[in-house]
Structures are given as structure tokens and as C-alpha cells.
Structure 1
Amino acid sequence: MLAPATHTRMSIRPYDPASDADALWALKRAFETGLGANTGSDEKESRYADKLTDDYREGYLEWVDRCVAHDERSVQVAVADDGPDSALTGYVFVLPDSHAYIWDAAVLNEIYVDEPFRGTGVADALIDAAVSAVREQDLPLERLVLDVDRENDRAQAFYERHGFDHWGELVAREL
């Protein structure tokens, strides 16, 4: 993994399915395993890790491709400009406005920054890119929503710092 410089030169650009799929999948795997490991029990960690099969990878990347075909800024990546091969350091995934009726708003599906780059401004740049993209969407409600685990204090603080506040509460049940 690329080590961050003190002042990592980085850019945000739309995801390119032809060149970024493997790197995006590596970040997605880290996102999913981090959710399970850092915000719950051993059972939660196992469930998140167990779903990351080859079939899941294929389906996820096909879904990403469909979203990007609708709006290229649905998935944007952070790229370390001063590293080997311009490595991806994070990504943000907002659902295209064709999905806006899920919550009558824009939906921030995922944001993830590779651990060595946390605290370097990468997440701030990604959230700014997401907000910029969704401001151009046709939405029933002028709002960006997301699901954040109540046990993830770092994420809670990040979203609050970026102007997010509580708007209902998500509940779930096993199927």
C-alpha cells in the first residue's frame, strides 16, 4: 500500500471502469471488512467478510458500472498524484438521481479512505465532490442522506463537521 506523504498531492476524478475496477474492489473490501470489524460483534464482522465472494464482486462492479453510465460522478475516486501508478486512496459513491425516490433525496451510499490516508484531507475532498455532484441532481427533497453506524464515532464526527444532522433513524430486521 502507498504511504501518505505529509502533504499528499491528490486529485478527485470520476471512476474509470476500464482502469480502476481492481483498485475500487480492494477499497470496497476494506470498507466492508472495516464496517464489520470496527462497529460490532464478531458475528457482524464475519457476516460482512463472508459476503465478499467472487459473485458479490462481479455484481457490485456491474452495479457501479450501471450507476456510472447514468451519471459519471456517481463514483468518484481520490488519486495520489505523487505515488506509484497514481494509486487510489479512497472513493465516494452517491446513487444517481434515478434512485432518488429511495429516500426522496440524494443518497450517499459509501465513502471510504484507505487507512494510511485518513486525516490527510482525502475524505473532505471526497465529501465535497459528492455534495457538488448531487447539487446537480433532480431530487424530490434537497437533501443528501446516508446510513452511518451509531458505533462509529469517527464517522459521526466527520459527518457532523460537514453539516449533516440526524434525520430519522434507520432500523432493520433479519430476513
Structure 2
Amino acid sequence: MDDSTDATVRPYDHDADWPALWSLKRAFERELGSADDEKAARYEGKLTDDYRAGYREWVADCVRRDPGCVLVADDDGPVGYCFLLPADLAYIWDAAVVNELYLAPEYRGSGLADDLFEAALAHAAEQSLPLDRVVLDVDPENERAARFYERFDFEPWAELVARSVGGTKRSRR
């Protein structure tokens, strides 16, 4: 795709945009899991009907709490989205939190991701935040994403660590 598009960025409309948002969300999850077969199976396995229903209600609740926290890139229907957590969840990281940013592959390189992200950052600037910052997590192996966020002056801030909920108990030292 060339650098021009007639697409626009606008707030998500839950009734009209849900089917397209779910399609984009599935694509986002599948790309996250594409690094290896085990990870792919985990991400694919979570995309159940129950997950879909729960995610749908969660998105609707977030938008009710903070209209504009979910933005879509629209080109005769949503082709991407940016999900900024509602302002009342800013205390999770004492900041605005970008939960997800995804753009359909055929729109990448068009400048539309910049437009979508700039709109999300503008919405974050309107939120009442404990600290004046925006945080997000990015896979360090996703060099394209890292370069994208660096262009917006994001820099490493902390290291996220994780374990399974059913993991082993703490070790005694």
C-alpha cells in the first residue's frame, strides 16, 4: 500500500464496530502467538466463545466508562484499533496505559498507525493521571513495534516479569 489512504481515525462504536473489532483482535492475538508453535497454540486456544463474550463485555464496559478510550482506523469499516485503558484504571501503572494497538497488515506503512496512535496519545493527555506518562508493553523481539514506539519517544522503563497463575510456590533461600 502507498503512503496515502482515505482512512480516518474515530471513536469505536460498540454496536456497529464489534464484529470488525473482534476480527482484528483475533488477528492481533494470532500475531502475538506466531513466534513459535507452543506460543501459537496457547494464543489460539484462548480464542474461545467464552473469551469472545468476555472480551466483548469488557470493551463495552471500558467504552461506557471512558468514551474514546478505544479508537478505530476506519476505511469503509475498522481496519485497526488502539485500546487505551479507561482513565479510572490509570492507577494500575500510575499512568495512561496503552493496552493494544493493531493495524491490519495491508495498512501498515501507510501512516495510519501514526494517526491512530497520535489520537490515543491525545486522549491520554485528556485523562486525569497520577503521573504524566503513558506506558505500554512491547515484545523486545518485535523490532518493528519497538522502532514505532521509539519514534514517539518511548524508552525502556522497567522490565515486566511473569509466571503462570498455577506456578510453583516461592523458593526458600
Query: TM-score if structure 1 supplies the norm length?
Result: 0.91
Is structure 2 residue 37 aligned with structure 1 residue 47? Answer: no
Is structure 2 residue 80 aligned with structure 1 residue 90? Answer: yes
CA shift digits 1:114-155 (9 cap, x unpaired): 000000011100110110001011111110000101110100
1:21-40 correspondence runs (5 A) = 21-37=18-34, 40=35
Q: Is the 8 A contact 2:8 2:73 kept in 1?
A: yes
Two-structure CA RMSD over aligned residues (Å): 1.0
Q: Which residue of 1 aligns with 2:117?
A: 127
Whichever of the two has the greater Rg, that structure is: 2
Q: Which residue of 2 aligns with 1:83?
A: none
What is the Cα deviation at residue 45 of structure 1?
1.1
State the secondary structure of the residue aligned to 2:153.
coil
**Structure 2: any 5+ residue segments left out of the alignment?**
166-173
What is the Cα deviation at residue 41 of structure 1?
2.2
Question: One-letter code of the match for 2:162?
Answer: A
Q: Which residue of 2 aligns with 1:169?
A: 159
Q: Is the 8 A contact 2:3 2:111 kept in 1?
A: no
Report how many residues are paired.
165
1:51-130 correspondence runs (5 A) = 51-80=46-75, 86-130=76-120
What is the Cα deviation at residue 97 of structure 1?
1.0
Q: Is the 8 A contact 2:17 2:77 kept in 1?
A: no
What is the Cα deviation at residue 10 of structure 1?
1.1
Runs ≥4 in structure 1, deviation > 2 angstroms? none
Question: One-letter code of the match for 1:145?
Answer: V
Q: Which residue of 1 aligns with 2:170?
A: none
**Structure 1: any 5+ residue segments left out of the alignment?**
81-85
Question: One-letter code of the match for 1:171?
Answer: V
Is structure 2 residue 132 aligned with structure 1 residue 142? Answer: yes
Query: How many Å separate the matches in 2 of 1:96 and 1:88?
Result: 20
Determine what percentage of the aligned residue pairs are the same residue.
55
State the secondary structure of the residue aligned to 2:130.
coil
Question: One-letter code of the match for 1:126?
Answer: L
What is the Cα deviation at residue 5 of structure 1?
6.2
State the secondary structure of the residue aligned to 2:9.
strand
State the secondary structure of the residue aligned to 1:73.
coil
Query: How many Å separate the matches in 1 of 2:116 and 2:20?
Result: 16
Query: TM-score if structure 2 supplies the norm length?
Result: 0.92
